[in-house]
Structure 1
Amino acid sequence: MTAILTDPDSRGATPLEKIDRTGGRPVWEEEPSAIGQGIKGLSLVVVCLAILAPLWVVVVTSLSDSRTITEAGGLVIWPRTITFRSYTELLSGGIVTRAALVSVVVTLVGTVFSMAVSVLCAYGLSRTGSFAHRPILMTLMLTMFFGAGLIPTYLLVTGIGLQDSYWSMILPSAISVFNILVLRSFFMGVAPELIDSARIDGAGEWRILFRIVMPLSRAVIAVVSLFYAVGYWSQWFNASIYINDSEKYPLQMILRQIVLKQEVPPGAMGQAVSSGAISSLSVQMAVMVLALVPVAVLSPFVQKHFHKGMLIGAVKG
């Protein structure tokens, strides 16, 4: 009984204290067993197959001719005859090419505009002594939980003359409060000594932001830029309610019309589909591939910044 009472573990020693006394390591730092490694490897293989298998089917179907798609009864799993007819028709200067150009312009302009406003707002809120710092921060956070609603937003956008304007696809979703908070947290993590020394040397707020804070925050800026770019590239809802002119439709609206509404674009492509030269299903899959390519190309280049940009930025401050 005495041994039990005098046992150090019975006095409420923490797990870290036990590890220090025994010289061991926490469970999460131990080398995994062969069975554990096998389970992890199998899980990763299953997840990769679940992600890549649908993408493979979409790409193969987009490269198949009408006969192969008919024989397969729909989606093609293994290619037989490879043809790029669907892609050449889509990119031959018709409505899809114009919609892709609209999406590119909206994505570039929208990302630059959103990042400019978000960086300036986040830097101002990261300086705790700035004017109305606390009320502005609370107001921004309030909008994360309470929104105006679709009808007031629609009335506002149309009331200021943005109906059928490209800006109607940018301004209503230009700012993400979550992204501003992430940027603010990262900016607050910049060493105060650097900013104080710059002020002593006579640098103003603009010079501090562009010469010190932003170069040290490249990781979070790259990640937030990707978030904004993907959002602009993928959006279709704003175009569906604010854009009436089909000449101004972005690529996602054309994709919605082709895939969900089963509408074939007019012109040479419509004639090719009607004549059976290309399959409508092949056209649908080709448009989906075109919509996925920019995100698939950009993501690997920004992937290395995710851990530093998002995890560190979300914890600091």
Structure 2
Amino acid sequence: MKTSAGERAFGWLNALLMIGLCFITLYPFLYVLFASFSDATSFLQSSGLLFRPAGFDLGAYRAVFHNPMIMKGYGNTLIYVTLGTAINLVMTAIGAYVTSRSQLYFNKILMFLIVVTMVFQGGLIPSYLLVNELGMMNSMWALLVPVAINTFNLIIMRTAFQSVPVSLEESARLDGAGDWTILFRIVLPLSMPVVAVMILWYAVGHWNSYFAALVYLRDSEKYPLQLVLRDILIANNTDTMMAGSASDDKYAIGETIKYATIIVSTLPIICLYPFLQKYFVKGVLVGAVKG
């Protein structure tokens, strides 16, 4: 079909608009990336937009990886992400399976109470007092146990479990299977797209979390990477990363170190996301078949 001049102009306009929006969305990350590879003095002397590194230099990255707190924070974050995601997935799956069973007594009342927690929450002070009374202060359990289940994720997984044919459960029960067998050997394998989405959402949440660690942790050796990053960016704590630098260069080097730290902390998620992106749409659609 031959297109008219107006349709071609409309297509070009849409393409230019999308390119412009992509540039606006992507440029902040590119700015941070270029700044992290820039020479400290040249970067401070530059002004305006940055379309390439201002004098290529890897000094900021060398300073970041020589900082023991960065590597310690990486290790702590990997522990929190791995263990926390496992706890989240198991607890959410159990909660979603129980609430998705039609034979459960007071199912609607239970779901109402669960949904209420999305609107009304105890707040920071009651949460702090509860964690303190449970003896979890200054431990990794303070970061993992209070967020073991996310209500929104529970509802999505529950809806996905409801889409599993009831005949499969009935057949399994005739063969002597119990609820644990049905959940882990029938329901979960048939809901893998939603499970992949839950893993990704929970893992990203743990990776980016810093506020709970700021409130509950006192020992800097237990800080996750994001809290170490916060200390560097907000507290301007870059002196220990600039050993041997002249006093006049410390400020300049400190600026590029901040950008390098941002790249180092976000790079794993950026590399992982393209491979798991397809599960977002598929998983959410599977979880939204019934509502």
Output the CA distance in 1 between the equivalents of 2:166 and 2:267: 41
Task: Specify the alignment match of 1:148 in structure 2.
Answer: 122
Superposed, which structure 2 residues align to 1:1-317 within 5 Å?
A: 33-73=7-47, 76-92=50-66, 94-264=68-238, 266=240, 268-272=241-245, 274=247, 276=249, 279-317=253-291
Distance 1:288 1:314, change over 3 A: same
**1:44 CA drift (Å):** 2.1
- TM-score, L = length of structure 2: 0.90
- Amino acid across the alignment from 1:282: T
Contact kept, 8 Å, 1:61 with 1:77, in 2: the verdict is no
**1:279 CA drift (Å):** 1.0
Output the CA distance in 1 between the equivalents of 2:86 and 2:125: 28
Give the superposed CA RMSD: 2.2
Distance 1:197 1:49, change over 3 A: same
- TM-score, L = length of structure 1: 0.83
Distance 1:191 1:84, change over 3 A: same
Distance 1:270 1:77, change over 3 A: farther
Contact kept, 8 Å, 2:33 with 2:263, in 1: the verdict is yes
Distance 1:74 1:153, change over 3 A: farther
Distance 1:49 1:183, change over 3 A: same
Is 53-62 or 178-187 further displaced after alignment? 53-62
Distance 1:153 1:214, change over 3 A: same
Deviations along 1:78-121, one digit per CA (max 9) or x if unpaired, are: 22432222222222351111111111111111111111100110
- Gaps spanning 5+ residues in structure 1: where? 1-31
- Gaps spanning 5+ residues in structure 2: where? 1-5
Question: What percentage of aligned pairs have identical amino acids?
Answer: 35
Output the CA distance in 1 between the equivalents of 2:139 and 2:246: 32
Contact kept, 8 Å, 2:34 with 2:54, in 1: the verdict is no
Output the CA distance in 2 between the equivalents of 1:273 and 1:205: 66
* Aligned residue pair count: 285
Output the CA distance in 1 between the equivalents of 2:249 and 2:25: 31
Distance 1:288 1:162, change over 3 A: same
**1:122 CA drift (Å):** 0.3
Contact kept, 8 Å, 1:68 with 1:80, in 2: the verdict is yes
Distance 1:272 1:300, change over 3 A: same
Task: Specify the alignment match of 1:18 in structure 2.
Answer: none
Contact kept, 8 Å, 1:219 with 1:308, in 2: the verdict is yes
Contact kept, 8 Å, 1:99 with 1:248, in 2: the verdict is yes
Contact kept, 8 Å, 2:88 with 2:149, in 1: the verdict is yes
